Chains A and B, each alone.
Chain A
């Protein structure tokens, strides 16, 4: 008889280390793939698995091999039907050829796509953003759990004893094992007393002895069969359950007038993606509303939002009004956590900025959990505007709001790495929230 070993329960992912090494090796190329995904894909799609093409650079394994297009060789093939020696067969154009060792079977490596897990995608995505580890961890963690009652268990801590259930078990056991009741003992004791009070004769004495024995037996039995036995005890069982989170809605506001080019939109998109990632982590249900505006604002779908340009002036307040209207109509504050992210290059009609302050201060900031505004500037401008407070009209107006409302954030961004600080406050608060939960 051979030796049998059942390996099915061995730890899986034996090649996980190899996979990690491979991903590290192809990191640059995979990052580019993910960047493309972010650019072309939908915001909500970032946070999941992705199929990416097999990276080629840096992952080839060269060896000395024969050049297919040189020399003389012989192929030995089965299944000759019509050929005789000396026949000439034209070579198929385009290399390879019917005679080569594996026509049509060597699938080219380019066709391969493989799946990156959510964690791997996020890792690659975040690398550009230079998020601190704590934040990465928070984003990658699943929501917290709360213990919830879920039936009974035979083991647990004394504080969790369920008395009712325990007593029911004890009762059943006592009945099953016929534990003598107090009443039975009392009845026998009474009988004995009664007999003893009568004049003693032989028959009565015998009866008394018998009754005493019976009483003794019953008492011993009562001692042996405990009233509450360890086997009766039941504890409340608690099951960790995800905390039911309220829903959140995220408003993406963006200026789509001609001044917003590819680069600006790409940065804006990353900004929206990040907020969305954060929200999906904290809320079970996340809606996204896209509002784009020129001199008038419109709610659109994601594709239109990012890919259609429209000409026109820039009146930011229209977007804020539209957002307010949508909140009134669809997202009652009692049920929804409202987040807003606005991206713009900062252009606005001078007179409109007052109107924006009014809207934000008077209405929207009372409804919003958080409002983040990013102004996308040219990289050359970044060192000019980096610190100073002067800027576009919208920037100056929003600075006022920023002073009043702690949950209002404004930031200028010129590169992906600038995006994170916008959310710093938001992320920093998260551990506290988790503890309360």
Chain B
């Protein structure tokens, strides 16, 4: 007698939560449990977590200022807010359930509208999954400073506000507009930027600006070279010398302009620097979309299932969690009207689960393709290693398996602009696997997939003409209208004429040239 009810009683008391309402005590209990099993079972390594509960309107606010809690003011954020708000109001787009910031402590925003089940899901996804990725992935470790970003943004915001007070909104806006136009070209892709240290930054700022104002830049010597050196050096030598002293070619246009423009005031340089630092901060995120979302999705899916298996989550809550989970990883086929590109959540999760499968139950094909991980047993090590050491491009290049290509039925379509049709280049068969894999990897290479534009030369002694070079790959040119508008922005920051030459990457032939003189 009474044995049945007793058991269900005991099971019930083990539940982490029941009902759909959340409160802070439940949130804390759930977090503690999820953290414990995340660390024990998946060997995650995370920053301390700070959870902030916000309303949907605040979520929209956060959206429009590039997801950062503190941001300087600019009209473009207002514009994006309106777009997001409209999409949200029309129901065309739901809001993210969470937002997570790569900072130490890791800030996770939870929406107040979420149910308790959803809050648990979000906790596992963001507070564990993303958090682990931010802390361990080499790109984030090397290129961003999680500890310093918030105080740097704080500094940036107040600095720009002070500039607005001192120099007027219009002047500040002009610099920000131009700098935003070059944000894509404002990152170092190959050498690591210096760490932010905002405390020192604030102290050192005035000193540095004053020094720059005082100091005299030998590069801009306006006197003609003395006759004897002029005679002995050939023209080529002079150019090489000049390029060397300016560190040319330079891929980071914002950096070049900040350091070398003659027409900028110190405060304008500082604003460019702020935009550049923020662009750099986001650069790793853009390179690790699939991995980052995949890692978070894998973690939440695995942890939620573990909790359910241990009877800590009720069936009702689990159904809600799974329903949301499957919405997130929904991947329509290319001919579906809902198709809008490859869903990074879906691809990331599938690849990571595939690694899990290859480690534990490999097929002969897997042993061929992945001899070092197939059947190794411990998928955790493989995943932890992948999360730490890869970005999307290398991750796909290394781990996309034929089985997954078949599951997704991936195919490559080659598209040549002046031909009337597309050609199916590869499909999911023996011959296609490695081609698809490398094409997909290539498409996730942020550095390669956006226009490669560098500063190549400056006519120092003449009219200070700034020469940029666009290395054209696969004959893909720049869109004309936005190119001209962007060149105008560069001219504004540089102060003198700017020209952009399109050079074919393979032949080295000049394809076209556009100068601000023509605009």
Where the two chains meet, the residues of A that have a C-beta atom closer than 8 Å to any C-beta of B are 1-8, 10, 12, 14-15, 17-25, 54, 59-81, 83-91, 97-105, 107, 109, 112-114
Give the contacting residue for B476; candidates A10, A66, A102; CB below 8 A: A66
Taking CB atoms, residues of chain A closer than 8 Å to B181 are 61-63
Interchain CB contact under 8 A, A78 and B342: yes
Most buried by B among A79, A100, A101, A112: A79
Please report the C-alpha to C-alpha distance between residue A77 and residue B332 in the assembled complex, in whole angstroms. 10
Please report the C-alpha to C-alpha distance between residue A219 and residue B122 in the assembled complex, in whole angstroms. 69
A-B CB contact pairs (8 Å), 22 listed: A2-B127, A4-B28, A5-B50, A10-B54, A18-B73, A18-B81, A21-B78, A23-B78, A24-B75, A62-B489, A64-B451, A64-B470, A73-B414, A76-B410, A77-B411, A79-B334, A79-B408, A84-B424, A85-B424, A85-B426, A89-B423, A114-B82
Taking CB atoms, residues of chain A closer than 8 Å to B54 are 7-8, 10
Residue ID in chain A nearest B29 by CB atoms: A1
Other A-B pairs, 13, CB within 8 Å; known A7-B54, A54-B79, A72-B474: A4-B51, A7-B53, A19-B82, A20-B78, A24-B75, A68-B479, A73-B476, A74-B413, A88-B423, A91-B419, A91-B421, A91-B422, A114-B85
Please report the C-alpha to C-alpha distance between residue A100 and residue B415 in the assembled complex, in whole angstroms. 9
Interchain CB contact under 8 A, B334 and A78: yes
B335 at the interface (CB under 8 A from A): yes
Interface set, chain B 413-436, CB cutoff 8 A to A: 413-417, 419-429, 431-432, 436
Interchain CB contact under 8 A, B75 and A21: yes
CB distance from A130 to the nearest CB of B (A): 22
Please report the C-alpha to C-alpha distance between residue A73 and residue B130 in the assembled complex, in whole angstroms. 32
Please report the C-alpha to C-alpha distance between residue A89 and residue B453 in the assembled complex, in whole angstroms. 33
Interchain CB contact under 8 A, A22 and B75: yes
Taking CB atoms, residues of chain B closer than 8 Å to A107 are 92
Closest 6 CB pairs of A and B: A79-B333, A71-B476, A22-B78, A18-B78, A62-B485, A77-B334
Interchain CB contact under 8 A, B423 and A60: no
B412 at the interface (CB under 8 A from A): yes
Give the contacting residue for B173; candidates A3, A21, A65; CB below 8 A: A21
Interchain CB contact under 8 A, A98 and B335: yes
Taking CB atoms, residues of chain A closer than 8 Å to B336 are 79
Given A3-B49, A22-B82: A80 in contact with B474 (beta carbons within 8 A): no
Residue ID in chain A nearest B443 by CB atoms: A76
Interchain CB contact under 8 A, B184 and A64: yes
Taking CB atoms, residues of chain A closer than 8 Å to B108 are 2
Interchain CB contact under 8 A, A21 and B439: no
Interchain CB contact under 8 A, B78 and A65: no
Taking CB atoms, residues of chain A closer than 8 Å to B408 are 78-79
CB distance from A162 to the nearest CB of B (A): 41
Please report the C-alpha to C-alpha distance between residue A85 and residue B61 in the assembled complex, in whole angstroms. 47
Given A15-B78, A77-B413: A114 in contact with B86 (beta carbons within 8 A): yes
CB distance from B443 to the nearest CB of A (A): 6
Given A62-B486, A66-B451: A15 in contact with B183 (beta carbons within 8 A): no
B83 at the interface (CB under 8 A from A): yes
Taking CB atoms, residues of chain B closer than 8 Å to A90 are 420-421
Give the contacting residue for A87; candidates B75, B335, B423; CB below 8 A: B423
Interchain CB contact under 8 A, A85 and B432: yes
Please report the C-alpha to C-alpha distance between residue A257 and residue B439 in the assembled complex, in whole angstroms. 72
Most buried by B among A21, A59, A68: A21
Please report the C-alpha to C-alpha distance between residue A98 and residue B411 in the assembled complex, in whole angstroms. 13
Q: Mark B306-347, 1 if CB is under 8 A from A, else 0.
A: 000000000000000000000000011111110111100000
Give the contacting residue for A15; candidates B65, B332, B333; CB below 8 A: B65
CB distance from B53 to the nearest CB of A (A): 5
Please report the C-alpha to C-alpha distance between residue A80 and residue B182 in the assembled complex, in whole angstroms. 38
Please report the C-alpha to C-alpha distance between residue A12 and residue B472 in the assembled complex, in whole angstroms. 47
Q: Mark B26-65, 1 if CB is under 8 A from A, else 0.
A: 0110011000000000000000111111110110110011
Please report the C-alpha to C-alpha distance between residue A286 and residue B510 in the assembled complex, in whole angstroms. 71
Taking CB atoms, residues of chain B closer than 8 Å to A8 are 53-55, 58, 112
Given A7-B58, A64-B453: A2 in contact with B51 (beta carbons within 8 A): yes
CB distance from B164 to the nearest CB of A (A): 10
Residue ID in chain A nearest B500 by CB atoms: A64
CB distance from B467 to the nearest CB of A (A): 15
Given A4-B27, A77-B413: A89 in contact with B422 (beta carbons within 8 A): yes
Taking CB atoms, residues of chain B closer than 8 Å to A103 are 339
Interchain CB contact under 8 A, B416 and A5: no
Interchain CB contact under 8 A, A79 and B420: no
Residue ID in chain A nearest B342 by CB atoms: A78
Interchain CB contact under 8 A, A81 and B409: yes
B24 at the interface (CB under 8 A from A): yes
Give the contacting residue for A99; candidates B81, B415, B453, B479; CB below 8 A: B415
Please report the C-alpha to C-alpha distance between residue A272 and residue B173 in the assembled complex, in whole angstroms. 38
Interchain CB contact under 8 A, A74 and B425: yes
CB distance from A412 to the nearest CB of B (A): 38
Residue ID in chain B nearest A68 by CB atoms: B479
Give the contacting residue for B82; candidates A6, A12, A98, A112; CB below 8 A: A112
Residue ID in chain A nearest B346 by CB atoms: A78
Taking CB atoms, residues of chain A closer than 8 Å to B177 are 61
Interchain CB contact under 8 A, A72 and B49: no
Taking CB atoms, residues of chain A closer than 8 Å to B202 are none
B197 at the interface (CB under 8 A from A): no
Please report the C-alpha to C-alpha distance between residue A22 and residue B333 in the assembled complex, in whole angstroms. 38
CB distance from B331 to the nearest CB of A (A): 6
Please report the C-alpha to C-alpha distance between residue A81 and residue B420 in the assembled complex, in whole angstroms. 22
Given A80-B428, A112-B86: A1 in contact with B28 (beta carbons within 8 A): yes
Taking CB atoms, residues of chain B closer than 8 Å to A88 are 421-424
Interchain CB contact under 8 A, B28 and A18: no
B480 at the interface (CB under 8 A from A): yes
Interchain CB contact under 8 A, B57 and A12: yes
B300 at the interface (CB under 8 A from A): no
Interchain CB contact under 8 A, A5 and B51: yes
Please report the C-alpha to C-alpha distance between residue A103 and residue B335 in the assembled complex, in whole angstroms. 9
Interchain CB contact under 8 A, A75 and B474: no
Taking CB atoms, residues of chain B closer than 8 Å to A65 are 451, 478-479, 482
Interchain CB contact under 8 A, B427 and A76: no
Interface set, chain B 64-79, CB cutoff 8 A to A: 64-65, 73-79
Give the contacting residue for A2; candidates B31, B65, B182; CB below 8 A: B31
Interchain CB contact under 8 A, A60 and B64: no
Residue ID in chain A nearest B64 by CB atoms: A15
Please report the C-alpha to C-alpha distance between residue A89 and residue B416 in the assembled complex, in whole angstroms. 12
Give the contacting residue for A21; candidates B64, B74, B470; CB below 8 A: B74
B249 at the interface (CB under 8 A from A): no
Interchain CB contact under 8 A, A70 and B475: yes
Please report the C-alpha to C-alpha distance between residue A114 and residue B87 in the assembled complex, in whole angstroms. 11
Interchain CB contact under 8 A, B478 and A66: yes
